[in-house]
Amino acid sequence: MAVKSVSIRIEEEMLEQLAYVADFEGRSINSHILVLIRQNIDAFERAQGKIEGVIRPAKNVKPSGKK
């Protein structure tokens, strides 16, 4: 599986808070963000079913929403 980079805009205060939580959990900010993303995907799939198909982030396409 390829590893991609993504850049986000985040308020400084929120970044500092995220860094605090990540440090408390013994993680880097990057690792902590990946944990949060995995948890979000897992919760989505439990509620909505397995994600099928691909939406390429480079196209910046919004999914159509609920099926």
DSSP notation for 11-32: -HHHHHHHHHHHHHTT--HHHH
Is 33 part of any domain? Answer: yes
Does residue 67 fall inside a structural domain? Answer: no
Residue 54 lies in a domain: no
Residue 17 maps to a domain: yes
Question: What is the extent of the structural domain holding 28?
Answer: 12-48
Q: Is residue 29 part of a domain?
A: yes
> 13-67: per-residue pLDDT in tens?
999 999 999 999 999 999 999 999 999 999 999 999 999 887 776 666 566 666 5
**Is 36 inside a domain boundary?**
yes
Q: For residue 34, what pLDDT is reported?
A: 96
Q: What is the pLDDT of residue 66?
A: 62
| pLDDT value, residue 62 | 65
Q: How many domains does the chain have?
A: 1
The token duo for 52 is: 């099928």
